[in-house]
Amino acid sequence: MLNYENFAISLARAVEVFRVAPEVNEQKAALRTVVALAKLGAVTVKLSQRTLLVESAAIPPTLPGIKSLIAQMDLHGVAEIRIAQNAAASDLLELLRGLAGGVDGYDRGGGIGERLRAADVSSVRVVAATSEVAPQGARAASVTDAFESAGILEAAKQTRAEAAAIAAATRTHRPGTPLEQAVERLALDPTAPDVLDQLTAFQHLVQREETAAGIAAVVRAVSELIRIEEGLPDGSPRRNFSIVRQRILKRSFLESVVQLIRLPEWTEAATRVVQRAGPDATGLLLDWLIKAESSAERRAYFDALRDMSNGADQAVRLLDHPEWYVVRNMAELLGEQRSEMAVRALGRALRHGDSRVRKAAAVALAKIGTAATVEYLREALQKGNAEVRTLVASAVAGRKSGALTMPLVFAADGESDPEVQRQFYLALARIGTPNAIQALVQAAQPGGRFFRRRRPEARLAAIDGLRAAAGPAAVGTLEALRDDPNRLIRKAAREALEDLGES
């Protein structure tokens, strides 16, 4: 039977791997896990009021990767994903690529569905969220957005002909505010001889508009300026943009911008601004994360902090905060950042009086996965309840977690719950080092003739791990198991080889 929480975690992890991990083997392992789970039954994943539902079962947002999956579905305007039983690997691959990618222009909702249709995907369907129609005469996307959707925002290589084409295309738009016009001129030619004068004028407009119309009137323009800067090569033009950006992003300005992050219509632009502002912005985000009143606000601030490397020391100090929810939020953040400096403090949090904090700390340590985490995770893997053991195993990923190989092997050997044991073996597959693969090979064997004979359930779980790991060693072992005396083992080995295209 399909475990809905495990499926949600595996789908979320796969999307995250495709989003941030370029290593092909990691992507293959993530895809194989989703393919294997889809064999257990059809499944529908829904997004309803920022809550993830799998077959109408609400998935706790504290589970690994769920918040990130929600963010990606929301980014693409996806309300529902329907996956058929035995969905094709190629179909699921297109889904993962679509969810992991960015939004093409402002056509939210149609992008992934169109991608699946263009690829003749038949076993996966995406239902777009209902969106309001823009009022007649509303201003079209900015020039920067037009450049991005056309794939030509490479300021260093942009030709005069391209700039003229974009200018001609935008002449029919309703004239924007002076601030909008200023940022569009900068987008058209960010290397112009007078660009420093243009940037200085832009800075003065920001200060004037901030005073006259409030921060919301300028945050999108500053966000666009940052996007232009990020597209420039190192050198004088980029330095000019950087100087003006630093002048604009003063603490008083940031104090107002940070508050906009909790408003959905401003989250993306405000987040881009604060993520380029350094430690001051990190401190402000942490302050607002602590006092956020709703889960939606906490999620917005958490997502903004997740990609900010600076300020980890501030988050570590907050692991000693008296409020349990502050400690939990900091543990989740430090785990997402894989902050090695937080290991000792997270280890202390494993003894916190609140079980929610203990779970968050265990998952964070598993995500970090360095040798320093082993002593803290060994006890959680062996003595934690089934939920904690599953969460820890599900959070392990990639060769960077190689130090956890032996603790996972020992935990799997002594595990009595078949599903938890299966998660241990899948974690070894995601680690993918020679030692991890060899452990899976050994676990799939029948064992001694009289002593240390392995249960068929344990061997089947190890075969699932070999299927996810792939590679010559896994394939060779599965081929040998096709002649195993146990009928269930033979069947599982054959199905695994079929999935790997080796039948």
List, as one string, the DSSP characters of 151-173.
Answer: T---TTT--HHHHHHHHHHHTTS
Q: Give, for 174, the enclosing helix (H) or strand (E).
A: none
CA-based radius of gyration for the chain: 25
Tell me: pLDDT of 477 over 70: yes
- Contact (Cβ atoms closer than 8 angstroms) between residue 92 and residue 50: no
Residue 110's pLDDT is: 54
Query: What is the average pLDDT across 376-388?
Result: 87
Pair of tokens at residue 404: 């956890």
The Cα–Cα gap between 383 and 446 comes to 26
Q: In terms of pLDDT, which residue wins out, 65 or 364?
A: 364
Q: In terms of pLDDT, which residue wins out, 29 or 485?
A: 485
Residue from 478, 480, 502, 503 nearest 492 by CA: 478
The Cα–Cα gap between 232 and 237 comes to 7
Over residues 352-365, the pLDDT tens digits come to: 999 999 999 999 99
Query: What is the average pLDDT across 177-195?
Result: 85
Say whether 114 sits in a helix, a strand or coil. helix
Query: What is the average pLDDT across 459-477?
Result: 91
Residue 35's pLDDT is: 85
72-76, 211-215, 233-237, 372-376: lowest mean pLDDT where?
211-215
Residue 1's pLDDT is: 59
Residue 361's pLDDT is: 95
Confidence of residue 429 (pLDDT cuts 50, 70, 90): very high
Residue from 427, 284, 333 nearest 346 by CA: 333
pTM summary value: 0.59
Tell me: pLDDT of 172 over 70: no
The neighbouring-strand residues paired with 134 are none
126-135, 227-236, 351-360: lowest mean pLDDT where?
126-135
Tell me: pLDDT of 67 over 70: yes
Chain centroid to CA 479: 35
98-112, 354-368, 376-390: lowest mean pLDDT where?
98-112
Query: What is the average pLDDT across 404-429?
Result: 92
Residue 52's pLDDT is: 92
Residue from 174, 176, 227, 178 nearest 198 by CA: 178
Q: Give, for 292, the enclosing helix (H) or strand (E).
A: none
The Cα–Cα gap between 157 and 141 comes to 22
How are strands ordered across the β-sheet holding 78-83?
57-58, 51-54, 43-48, 78-83, 124-128
Query: What burial letters (b/e) apply to 141-179, b meaning 16+ CB within 10 Å?
Result: ebbbbbbbeeebbebeebeeebbeebeeebeeeeebeeb
**Residue indicated by tokens 């030709």:** 159
Rounded to the nearest 10°, the torsion over CA 479, 482, 483, 486 is: 140
Which range, 51-55, 77-81, 341-345, has the best average confidence (pLDDT)? Answer: 341-345
Looking only at the bridges linking them, the beta strands covering 78-83 and 57-58 are unpaired
20-24, 134-138, 159-163, 481-485: lowest mean pLDDT where?
134-138
Confidence of residue 174 (pLDDT cuts 50, 70, 90): very low
Please state the φ and ψ torsions of residue 490, each to the nearest 5 degrees.
-60, -45
DSSP E strand stretches across 32-104: 43-48, 51-54, 57-58, 78-83
- CATH numbers and ranges of domains, the chain: 4-128 (no CATH), 143-248 (no CATH), 311-395 (1.25.10.10), 400-503 (1.25.10.10)
Residue 133's pLDDT is: 34
Residue 283's pLDDT is: 86
Q: In terms of pLDDT, which residue wins out, 409 or 156?
A: 409
| pLDDT above 70: percentage of residues in the chain | 85
The Cα–Cα gap between 346 and 375 comes to 12
Query: What is the average pLDDT across 232-253?
Result: 87
Residue 439's pLDDT is: 94
The Cα–Cα gap between 253 and 270 comes to 11
The answer for residues whose C-beta is within 8 angstroms of residue 326's C-beta and 6 or more apart is 290, 318
The Cα–Cα gap between 408 and 398 comes to 14
Q: In terms of pLDDT, which residue wins out, 346 or 142?
A: 346
